[in-house]
Amino acid sequence: MLDADLAELYGVTTKRLNEAVRRNGARFPKDFMFRLREEEAENLRSQIATSKSWGGRRYLPFVFTEQGVAMLSSVLNSERAIQVNIAIMRAFVRMRKMLLSHEELARKMAALEGKYDAQFKVVFDAIRALMEPPKPPRRPIGF
């Protein structure tokens, strides 16, 4: 998650969140958080398509992994930080469960495909098509 998004959830400014992280640098190794590269930040900026009237951020944003978000609750010691952290951790757990169930379903499909012959190929192809994530909408061509 981006530092600005976490700061908004925790009810602090991005500057204050990053200050707290810098003061506790030993708690945030590289696998807990990292700074976006220039091209990644530019790509993100073009996807969000908004900027502050004074030109946006001066520094590249920090990105926190699940472990980094968990560590933030010990750095930002407030009741709101604790409640937000619990909600974020629950969201990560739900997301992981969804991904695992999707993988498990794909494995079961592959096993079934191997077991049955070509007469069910159409059925398996249709189920695989339903399992694929939706494709982003294409821009219309023309005026």
- Whether residue 138 lies inside any domain: the answer is no
- Whether residue 36 lies inside any domain: the answer is yes
> Taking residues 30-53, what's their average pLDDT?
74
- Whether residue 137 lies inside any domain: the answer is no
CA–CA separation, 82 and 140 (whole Å): 45
- Whether residue 136 lies inside any domain: the answer is no
Q: Give the amino acid at 99.
A: L
Tell me the residue range of the domain where 74 lies: 3-131
Instruction: With 0.75 as the threshold, say if the pTM is over it.
Output: no
- Whether residue 61 lies inside any domain: the answer is yes
Do the beta carbons of residue 106 and residue 131 sit within 8 Å? yes
Least confident of 38-42, 48-52, 97-101, 102-106: 48-52
Distances (CA, A) of 94 to 27, 67, 105, 132: 25, 15, 16, 19
Specify the pLDDT at position 117: 62
Specify the pLDDT at position 47: 62
